Amino acid sequence: MFEDWLKKEKNLTNTSISKYLSAIEKINSDLLSKEIIKSSIEDLNEYELRKIKNNYFNIPEIEELDSKGHRMYSVAFNHYISYKVSYKTKIKNESLGYVLKEIITKYPDAIKEPIHNHSLAAFIRTTAVEIIKSNLPEKFKSFKVKGSAGEGRWIGTGKSERNPWIAVLNKNITSGASKGYYTTYSFIHKSDFIILSVAQSDQEMESKYSNNKIPKVLNNYADLMRLQLNSKKYSKFDSGIPEVLDKNGDKLFLNRIGAVYHKKYNINELPSDKELKEDLSLMLEAYWDIYKNGGRPGLENEIIQNNEFDPNNIDSEKEKVLRSVTYRRGQKKFRDNLLRAYDSECVMSGCREEEVLQAAHILPYTDAETNKIDNGLLLRADLHNLFDLDLISINPKDFTILVSREIKDSDYIKLHGKEIKMPKSKIKSPSKKALKIHFKNFKG
């Protein structure tokens, strides 16, 4: 892109352009080797470049080199700063549609070439990121935008089924696409489709689940997160595993995106930029609502363990400890006991997917006294979180579910008034004393 700018804006000969490009490549290499910068100068803005320029050209050996080269290096650097200023002005006027078209149409040919210094790789990493940043709603301007076509080799080469991406990241959730969940554009390079979605990282799953189990786990979590949302608000989006046709007309099942909601764009039928911006804004709202409602059930296990539970036995000092709204599956013994007692079924929803069933305490864990089975409920991860937040409770008189008015517009309202599943043994039934205390804190 710098080369194109030199041709158009400076009207230089090919020889001069080649010299300036070589000079910038050497400067970039020097800055990296001297650890003045941590990544390519392509990733820096004009303010950062000006600051670096003063430091760099004050190094005696560089000053000498520049002097011997008739100031070619400093002139090249000045041109590069001017290019960055011009580039910044230009991207403000570029559309989301331009980004989507540029990447999906050029990527199939680009991956046949080396990625090093490739203009499309730089575009995905810098220009496209800046254009998307400039199109973010004011509410989400603080979110980080990051794009990748691969490191050292193109994403999607060889047997890889991955695709290049540009993600919008809430820094309170994650700083990159290797963990957590985020809003993202996935460029399905073997097809004509781009997918906008609230997606999840499959990489952090790899140390916990087998390769063939990861898609199921991801999509279970997607279902749970979707339950936290008002389905009417996001009715224009699709749920479930995205499917597209590749260039040969065969189906591609994108089951490792872990999409909560998604929208597919065919590059040959791209909607107006106004609609693209509206879609991005609404998808970011879904992303924000998930975070605001407690986020994704975590992948971590909690530390938890089995005579009758008595709330009065809890140490009064420990009673002051605030309930931790963390997600957990529960220590093995405690959870196994609840799985047996409730026949591996969530007491509220009837969900039987063991990966997302958690050992919940009616009253918060403090010590072994609170690990009694009648102070436990087997709950789906999202319901566990809402129970801990006092947004869902259980009537101690008739064991019916109560849903707070604060989440009445969500699909959880369907649980209101429903009787919970009781354990096979009455001895293991939830403690009415504990439920009564929880019920007092309920945010009805």
Same domain, residue pair 33 and 105 = no
Tokens of 416: 């209101």
Tokens of 73: 């290096």
Same domain, residue pair 388 and 287 = no
Axis-axis angle for helices 96-110, 273-292 (nearest 10): 90
Same domain, residue pair 22 and 128 = no
245 found inside a domain: yes
Amino acid (one-letter) located at 82: S
This prediction has a pTM of 0.59
For residues 142 and 136, what is the distance between their CA atoms, to the nearest angstrom? 9
181 found inside a domain: yes
Say how many domains are in the chain. 3
DSSP labels, 252-318? EE-TTS--SSEEEEEGGG---HHHHHHHHHHHHHHHHHHHHTT-SPPSPPP--------GGGS-TTG
Structural domain of 49: 2-91
Same domain, residue pair 152 and 247 = yes
Same domain, residue pair 172 and 204 = yes
Same domain, residue pair 277 and 317 = no
Tens of pLDDT, residue by residue, the chain (444 residues): 788 888 877 878 889 999 999 999 999 999 999 888 887 888 787 788 888 888 899 899 999 998 988 899 999 999 998 888 776 666 666 789 999 999 999 999 999 999 987 889 988 998 899 899 989 999 999 999 999 999 889 999 887 889 999 999 999 899 889 989 999 999 999 999 999 999 999 988 888 788 888 998 898 889 888 888 888 899 999 998 899 999 889 998 898 999 999 999 999 999 999 999 999 999 999 999 999 887 886 653 322 233 455 555 444 433 333 333 333 434 677 888 899 999 999 999 999 988 889 889 998 755 555 568 888 999 998 899 899 888 999 999 999 999 998 888 888 999 999 999 999 877 788 999 999 999 998 887
207 found inside a domain: yes
Query: Of 91, 118, 153, which residue sits at a domain end?
Result: 91
Same domain, residue pair 21 and 100 = no
Same domain, residue pair 323 and 370 = yes
Query: Of 64, 91, 118, which residue sits at a domain end?
Result: 91
Same domain, residue pair 57 and 24 = yes
Distance from CA of residue 243 to its chain's centroid? 20
